[in-house]
A and B are shown apart, each in its own frame.
Chain A
Amino acid sequence: NAGVTQTPKFQVLKTGQSMTLQCAQDMNHNSMYWYRQDPGMGLRLIYYSASEGTTDKGEVPNGYNVSRLNKREFSLRLESAAPSQTSVYFCASSDPRGPTDTQYFGPGTRLTVL
């Protein structure tokens, strides 16, 4: 099992450019999440998907869109990148059928917006 995989690992964008961050999990989990991590602020939830076909906003959704393509894949799109979106982005998945909503994280995408 690869767990949670993310592509790309690094990306540099110019202000106003668009891009999509890809995430896939092979653990048959129902729920998937996108976080951003900024220095000194921990991880903040951008969007999540409790199950295939559903998505909901998290703490910091502005400037982002998501697509739950199927049970395995959950993508995050920046339509018009801004320098404030420079961050490390993590995808996670969990199976709420377990005893707790324990989340497993991918390796992250390091995004710089110039």
Chain B
Amino acid sequence: GQQLNQSPQSMFIQEGEDVSMNCTSSSIFNTWLWYKQDPGEGPVLLIALYKAGELTSNGRLTAQFGITRKDSFLNISASIPSDVGIYFCAGTGGAQKLVFGQGTRLTINP
């Protein structure tokens, strides 16, 4: 089945630094989604990408749908304490069932 490899698994940064994480797939995806999960909560959708090469921003967050359709990245600029959490990439292929990456745990030192 389809699998996603998300990296890094964890990040420890200083407040104000930029963050970059990515996901790669063993097969082509039609849609890439990025979610954030706060402790004790369910994942919340941050950005959705629908076309290869698409670059989309949501405030300090920017995500891109790779032109090969097998990867995506998420950047966070000028991190702040509320950015702490677990970030998940997810994608759908032809079967329309969402596949999730393992998550990137972001910790920020003030």
Contacts and interface: CB of A to CB of B under 8 A. Distances in A.
A47 B16 CA distance: 41
Contacts of B4: 42
Given A45-B97, A90-B42, A100 B50 contact: yes
A34 interface: no
Contacts, number: 55
A101 interface: yes
**What band does the interface of chain A fall in when counting residues whose beta carbon is under 8 Å from B?**
20 to 34
A31 to B, nearest CB: 9
Interface residues of B, number: 25
Interface in B80-109: 88, 92, 96-98, 100-103
A45 B4 CA distance: 14
A101 B98 contact: yes
A64 interface: no
